Amino acid sequence: MAEEGSYTFSPDHQGGYPRAKQEQYSLYLRKLHQDFIDSWNEKSESNAKLSDFERYKVLGTGAFGVVYLVKHATTGKYYAMKALEKEKIVKLKQIEHSFYEKKILCGLNFPFVVYMKYYFKDNVYVYFVLPFIVGGEMFTHLRKMGKFEETSSKFYGAQVVLALEYLHSCELVYRDLKPENILIDRTGYIKITDFGFCKLIRGRTWTLCGTPEYLAPEIILSKGYGMSVDWWSLGILLFEMTAGHPPFFASDPMRIYEKIVAGKYRCPGHFTTELKDLIGHTLQVDVTRRYGVLKDGVLDFKNHKWFKEVDWDNLLNSRIRPPFIPKVKSPGDTGNFDQFEEEKLKESPVNLFEEEFIDF
């Protein structure tokens, strides 16, 4: 096991990702895209029910529902169960988003993102059951440590690059990248969760959604946008991991938006020149100049000098030693999560919003 602060990358790695390798890798991504589309087009049937699970603690809460740690009664395996209340989804006009969340989770298959193991619905909720990622949110570790060493930011950031590349090649825009939605697994690698704002797009989209500090200028300015918004939020994430705070912040969201569209921020003095350079190309208000959507696409990241120690193939195959391994006492340990009040699931004698959720 790695010790905290041990050197993560091999210093003699040559760096970069040759174009020929990228072409090969694109073939693999094309296959994953096809698998995703096949899953999307498949009419799937719910494959579990609430009574299959024993419910333990609350792991997190959001706008529409609650995430519980659960244990499958027959297999004994632990999962995270997200219960979304149909009434809240309808009131907040998020039926389409929640439908996308389900369809997308069912089709995902990549080392650094979660996937759907079971799903079902009852009279009050729809339920998504995902593998339980025991190390908790990156957010918790980041706040506890204040900020990460650049090697740690690089280790996590590089996985986010590969995850976004995968999602985009499936025609998915993620739209909610932030430390709360990045979980650390047992081995110290990441899993991106929360596909509540994720959407299949061909071309551009217009919806205003996301988290203020991580919104790209083109979203704030109500322009049509595409995958560029995820690369912007990667820039915010790299900054926040290494600084301990996001580049654009204020107590009032309107002030945050003004700062974002102005694109003015200051990097702390301890950032290396390479990191500042990479963030500069990523927090680029002008979309036509932003890394990730230029002619070389993701290669602008893979070949950037800040990432030169990263062996991308080894990373994908989890052959790089993580900078930190979470402390885990048992498979159902919630010690890496914040404490929440217990929440009882509501019940109803009638099937609420049956029509609206018929396709779930």
**Whole-angstrom Cα distance, residue 280 to residue 218?**
17
- Site for Mg ion contains 213 (CB under 5 A): no
Partner that binds at residue 133, options ligand ATP, Mg ion, none, CB closer than 5 to 8 Å by kind: ligand ATP
- Give the chain's length: 360
Two structure tokens written together for 236: 């915010």
Tokens of 274: 């390479």
Say whether residue 194 binds Mg ion (CB under 5 A).
yes
| Minimum CB–partner distance for residue 94 and ligand ATP (Å) | 8
Q: Which does 240 bind (CB under 5 to 8 A by kind): Mg ion, ligand ATP, none?
A: none
Where along the sequence are the contacts to ligand ATP (CB under 6 A)?
Answer: 59-60, 62-64, 67, 80, 82, 114, 130-133, 137, 180-181, 183, 193-194, 196
> Which segments of the chain are extended strands (E)?
53-61, 65-72, 78-85, 118-121, 125-131, 172-173, 182-184, 190-192, 199-200
Catalytic residue among 176, 185, 194, 300, which?
176
> How far apart are CB 278 and ligand ATP at their closest, in Å?
26
Nearer to ligand ATP, 300 or 333 (CB): 333
- Give one word for 146, left, alpha or beta, with left for phi > 0 and alpha for psi -120 to 50: left
Residues 170 to 189 in contact with Mg ion, rule: CB under 5 A? 181
CB-nearer residue toward ligand ATP: 130 or 310 = 130
**CB under 8 Å to 215, separation ≥6 — which residues?**
229, 233, 257, 260
* Binding residue numbers for ATP: 82
Q: How far apart are CA 104 and CA 44, in angstroms?
A: 12
Closer CB to Mg ion, 169 or 193, in the complex:
193
Q: CA of 50: how far to CAs of 206, 225, 236, in Å?
A: 36, 39, 38
Q: Which does 59 bind (CB under 5 to 8 A by kind): ligand ATP, Mg ion, none?
A: ligand ATP
Identify which of residues 55 and 281 has a Cβ nearer to ligand ATP in the complex: 55
Active site residue 176: yes
The footprint of Mg ion (CB under 5 A) covers 181, 194
Question: Catalytic positions, please?
Answer: 176
